[in-house]
Amino acid sequence: MIRLASVFFALLLIVAPHPRAADLESKPPYPPSPIIQHVTWDWPTLQTAAPGSDLWPVTWLADDTLVSAWGDGGGFNGTDHDARVSLGFARLDGTPPAVKGVNLNGGKDPLHPASYPSKGKVGGLLAIDNRVYAWLNAQDGSFPDVDQLLIVSDDHAATWQTTGVKYPRGKGNLKPSTFLNVSRGHANVPDDAKGYAYFYGPRQGNPNDQYLGRAPVDKLADPHAHEFLTDAAGDQPRWSPDPATARPVFTDPAPCRDLATVTYLPALKRYLLTTFHAGAGQLGIFDAPHPWGPWTTVAYYEKWGDMTSAGEGLTCTFAPKWMSADNLTLWCVFSAYGDGAKQGIQAHDRFNLVRVKLDVAR
């Protein structure tokens, strides 16, 4: 009998100090948000699991399943050395803080064997109805000189297949890495996102800019249906089928990670973008009225969670399934790696979950 790989995060509670005011950077790349005035990280609620496994993007399926992905570890109940795979997929059951993880594909005691045991990483997931898409770093070269592939699962992330979409490696080439996540199964979306799946990514060799692409939701696996934003002015952006003509929709003079995560807050009518400007404690949070901006700064940290600039910040995702109705209470799934992440809240190389509260302008 296969034993479900699961863990109750509430048993792994970690208490950490609140970030100090000095942790906030005074020179973010965009002006302050007119809507979201302050972010409170409820660090005493921090829970961790799956030591040795990182990344952890999240998406919400139409049947209410929440799916995530990890890299270089055994997933839930595994470690960096126990049942390690290059890429695995998991289901997140329950509601915080009573959440458990089940390894669906790869890792410790999985429901299905690993589709990518030795090569592959996923930083972005998107559920359209119950079909799950992922951007796969094929790890067929020295990062960032790798091919980026679109893969798909029609059985709730249990097994995976490639599509015909490939963004080839090469300096200056566009590298889609993450998706805009809006709602359960991508069913209830605002007018500016209706009918499309949106994706973000940098150009290879450019760590400062993020670009935006899209495709009709029923043609995401058709490379000829992809188009790219060339002008983000106002409410009527322009698009082109040529990725070479794409223009940045987000820029930070500080080198950023390629995994910019964007989530929609329907009660606030704002898109929330998170990205690390390098190290584990260097997190930026931004908001905008459209998927393409214009962006304003919600928070810009240099020692977020009392972590430092050493190592790498990887992903920071606000799961739509776990948002309060007014969008003022969120749950954040995040991942960091290296010496900087071993400080403060000690988020190094594992699944991390914490409650977040937003204060908004009245």
Q: What is the reported pLDDT for 257?
A: 82
Q: What is the reported pLDDT for 236?
A: 82
Q: What pTM, to 2 d.p., does this model score?
A: 0.92
Q: What is the reported pLDDT for 141?
A: 95
Grouping H, G, I as helix, E, B as strand and the rest as coil, residue 96 is: coil
Q: What is the reported pLDDT for 256?
A: 85
Q: What is the reported pLDDT for 5?
A: 38
Q: What is the reported pLDDT for 234?
A: 63
Torsion of CA 341, 346, 347, 349, to 10 degrees: 70
Q: Which CATH class is domain 9-67+118-360?
A: mainly beta
Give the angle 352-354-358 at the CA atoms, nearest 5°.
Answer: 140
Q: What DSSP assignment string belongs to 192-258?
A: GGTTEEEEEEEETTEEEEEEEEEEEGGGTT-GGG-EEEEE--TT--EEES-GGG---SEE-SS---S
Q: What is the reported pLDDT for 255?
A: 86
Residue from 235, 269, 272 nearest 250 by CA: 272
Q: How far apart are CA 124 and CA 58, in angstroms?
A: 8
8 A C-beta contact, residue 274 and residue 316: yes
Q: What are the residues whose beta carbons fall under 8 Å from the beta carbon of 31, sequence distance 6 or more?
A: 296, 297
Q: What residue ranges of the chain have pLDDT lower than 50?
A: 1-25
**Which tens digit of pLDDT belongs to each residue from 178-189?**
999 999 999 999
CB neighbourhood size of 91 (10 A): 22
**Which tens digit of pLDDT belongs to each residue from 227-265?**
999 998 767 899 999 999 999 999 999 988 889 999 999
For 50-185, strand residue ranges (E) read 54-60, 66-73, 85-95, 98-105, 121-128, 131-137, 148-153, 161-167, 178-181
